[in-house]
Amino acid sequence: MTVGEWLDSRTPRPPRAIEERMSQVLGADSLRLDAREAAEACLRASEGLAAALLRGDLTSRATALDLLTADALMTYAFEAASGWPAELVPRAEAAMRRIAALGAA
């Protein structure tokens, strides 16, 4: 199963606009990765989108779709990570450091 197939199997499905934007942000290469890479792929995509929004000071209603997409990707990152409970706390701590660093940049 690929990351794309794993995302397609999630229920309930996200709104179509968010689903399409997630695919764009993840990109074809990440969507083809093995589903075991879903947590990191989604985290990386969420982080990249959030960084782009912050760099451009793009946090208004006009960018709501991207803000919602970044949030959805982060949610899916941790849904995927829940398959490895022993790694969840270190993964969450690392993710928090990565996200916090975005605000410092």
Tokens for 53? 């929004």
pLDDT of residue 104: 77
Residue 85 to residue 65: CA distance in whole angstroms: 30
Residue percentage of the chain with pLDDT more than 90 = 80
Q: Which residue in this structure is represented by tokens 């690392």?
A: 94
pLDDT of 105 over the 70 cut = no
Tokens for 35? 């589903």
pLDDT of 25 over the 90 cut = yes
Residues 6+ apart with CB under 8 A from 62: none
The answer to pTM > 0.95 is no
Stretch 39-49: mean pLDDT, rounded? 96
Contact indicator for 10, 42 with CB cutoff of 8 Å: no
Contact indicator for 41, 5 with CB cutoff of 8 Å: no
pLDDT of 76 over the 90 cut = yes
